[in-house]
Amino acid sequence: MTEAKKAKILIVDDDDVIRETYVQVFNQKGFDVLSAVDGVEGIDLATKEIPDVILTGIIMPRMDGFQLIKTLQENVQTREIPVAILSHLGREEDRKRAQELGITEFIVQGTITINEIVEKIRSLTKSGGSYKLSFDPYAWDAPRLAKTLPGGSFNCPNCQEKVILEVTPKAEEKRYDAILKCPKCDSVL
């Protein structure tokens, strides 16, 4: 019997403590882990190693996280690699810029547990990927469901953005997990 292939993650952050903490955690969670101290080193490793997923900070010397993402997206070898941003500041302008670049996971450090971060990253790997769907809040049983939600609607109780349905396949069990989630502030209903 062959051993299942480990998902390969590249962690890019200039903060040694944060980077090494995530390296240890992802190693313990069964990932094959690579790390880089900035975007330039991250691009070099990504093009040589082709990781399954990248977790990057934003503010770094030589090349920041946004330039790293743009450079990856311009390269045929790396454009399909899912990227998650780990933000220390959680600035709204950074979240908007991430959305413009097509980044679906914008994680503000300290707002969720490290295990939840691992699960978000795991869902981005090719073996896991989640799907984000909009839906008609007036069709079928949606109005009845809305009555059970905070505020009685499909609007986020924190920022009033219309929520989406995030669906994650569970291949080993041939089923799906689904959550209602705000695309703006990541609140889960």
Query: Where in the chain are the domains?
Result: 8-124, 131-181
Q: Which residues, 6+ apart, have CB-to-CB distance to 49 below 8 Å? A: 8, 10, 34
pLDDT digits (tens, 9 = 90+) for 81-93: 999 999 988 888 9
Task: Look up the pTM and report it.
Answer: 0.67
Provide the CATH topology of domain 8-124.
Rossmann fold (3.40.50)
Rounded distance between C-alpha atoms, residue 148 and residue 118, angstroms: 30
pLDDT value of position 126: 58
pLDDT digits (tens, 9 = 90+) for 29-62: 889 999 999 999 999 999 999 999 999 999 999 9
pLDDT value of position 42: 95
Q: Which of 27-31, 62-66, 116-120, 177-181 has the lowest mean pLDDT?
A: 177-181
Rounded distance between C-alpha atoms, residue 152 and residue 162, angstroms: 12
Give the residue among 119, 52, 50, 55 at the shortest CA–CA distance from 84. Answer: 55
